Structure 1
């Protein structure tokens, strides 16, 4: 298998716990070929029929990874979370093998920094990120919230009264609130891109983009 092929849809997922298995199953559902690896025979057996391939192996063993062909994958996910030493060593071995796109799960920011320092290309903190997202939803009036990067977010909320019945281009919403309406959705319809000519109606759902504080303040208007 050659790496860096534009249509290569094979991925190595190491660690089949809750995070790794959910990710692997979602990838398979989207047409990816997934090799799932775990040292726990029970987990490997549980997903043997759902994933493309599953293997019982110690991912901290360089020779075991090479026998699996880990060095031939263009993408790999290290979904080991609770065992920091195994997570770090596995990631390090994949880096040494030259895998070009490595995603690694971290259970803390400190763990994440170590993974980045040894060469992981992407670090995810699922528990922290989900907790942060839910906190924004619980404490405000947003229907959904995604932080794109530090201090910039997308928020899903109901169109506030002050923009209902008016063309977005006439509301001066960006200068007054510091946000941009990206998409809009009417009841029973799908989301469509918003333009300066778009006229929000009562009950419409909008997706807005801007600084996190501005997005939260705008959602409070609804």
Structure 2
């Protein structure tokens, strides 16, 4: 599989999510084996992906012939066919792939994938919808949910923390949120300390539980 500095990944299902993921992985230097049962989809990505093949993803023999069981990490990016998503995930478990990521289109779908043995279940449409909602609100410059109930937000600082060292502000005691970095003007982000003073016009990176981040933004 070669040594690209990144663990190779197999991506199964080349719809909008799967194709975007596969291309992004290759662009960052990760070797990708992309598989879809649609020759049209595969042909459409052949110029952008080094290894894109047409195969019946629900056939364990086809997956074995492609060496899928030799990969450490696999992504089931099938979202439009629930049965195929479930079957392919179960086949990857049977093949012994140690790190399986699977796309879910609903909470029920996600629970099934988890019970089958998927190690990570992602909800790209839901997650992107939440992120865009924060950006559209105008209060957040960027937003990333890093766990089920924990987020990182890039935002303008609330008025209550301006002009005083962070250790003297109430952002952690009142809001349960920690400022981890501050950007002043056109300068780079620098790590925040207890002595850091945030001023109007600065941009902060804050981490904390989702609900606490929401409360901070709404204030």
TM-score, with length taken from structure 1: 0.91
1:33-54 residue CA offsets vs partner (Å, 9 max, x unmatched): 1111111111111111211211
Per the TM alignment, residue 135 of structure 1 is displaced from its structure 2 partner at its CA by: 3.3
CA distance in 1: counterparts of 2:61 and 2:211, whole angstroms? 50
What's the counterpart of residue 107 of structure 1?
A: 105
Picking from 7, 21, 24, the partner of 2:22 is 24
Confirm or deny that 1:195 pairs with 2:180.
no
| Contact kept in structure 2, 1:140 and 1:220, CA below 8 Å | no
Match of 2:49 in 1: 51
User: Cα RMSD over matched residues?
Assistant: 1.9
Unaligned ranges ≥5, structure 1: none
* Shift, 1:168, TM fit: 0.9
Contact 2:6 2:31 in 1 (8 A): no
Structure 2 segments unaligned to the other structure (5+ residues): none
The residue that corresponds to 1:134 in the other structure is 132
* In structure 2, C-alpha distance between the alignment counterparts of 1:161 and 1:128, rounded to whole Å: 31
Give the aligned partner of residue 175 of structure 2: 177
Summarize the alignment of residues 64-83 of structure 1 with structure 2, pairs less than 5 Å apart.
64-83=62-81
Mapped partners of 2:148, 2:41: distance in 1? 36
C-alpha distance in structure 2 between counterparts of 1:148 and 1:112, whole Å = 17
Hey, what does 2:161 align to over in structure 1? 163
The 4+ residue runs of structure 1 with deviation greater than 6 A are none
Distance 2:97 2:214 in 1: 39
SS at match of 1:188: coil
Out of 72, 91, 94, the position equivalent to 1:93 is 91
| Residues in 2 aligned to 1:140 and 1:154: alpha-carbon distance in whole angstroms | 16
TM-score (norm 2): 0.92
- 1:139 is displaced (CA, Å) by 4.8
| Displacement of 1:8 | 5.4
Bigger Cα displacement from structure 2, 48-57 vs 210-219 = 210-219
